[in-house]
Amino acid sequence: MQCSDSACGQSTSVIINPVTHKVTHVVVQDKSLPENPTRLVPIDKVASTTQNQLTLNCTKADGAKMQPFIVTRFVQESGPGQAYSSEGRASTASRLRRPQ
């Protein structure tokens, strides 16, 4: 991952709004940060992407000030029609849908 002034870690995850199905944030891990090295970067800070690199339109110092990313509950995609919850149990996609 590249910030506007220097390398700034690597992308570890993306955050998707479950209602709109749009990417809202990128999770960036920068091990050079002294406290919680994982930050939540809003998608509007992504300037460009390639297959191998994400470039942000902010400095490394700006990125360090962004909200820390702390996992409380997530659904990890594992393959077509199947996902794993943060508790590690396999679930079918239909079971993960929001109740009507």
Q: Greater confidence, 63 or 82? A: 63
Burial bucket for residue 90 (CB in 10 Å: 0-12, 13-18, 19+): exposed
Q: Break the chain into its structural domains and give their ranges.
A: 1-69, 72-100
pLDDT digits (tens, 9 = 90+) for 15-74: 998 889 899 999 999 988 877 789 999 999 999 999 889 999 999 999 989 999 887 766
Going by pLDDT thresholds of 50, 70 and 90, the confidence category of residue 94 is very low
- Give the CATH H-level superfamily of domain 1-69: Photosynthetic Reaction Center, subunit H, domain 2 (3.90.50.10)
Closest CA to 42 of 59, 60, 56: 56
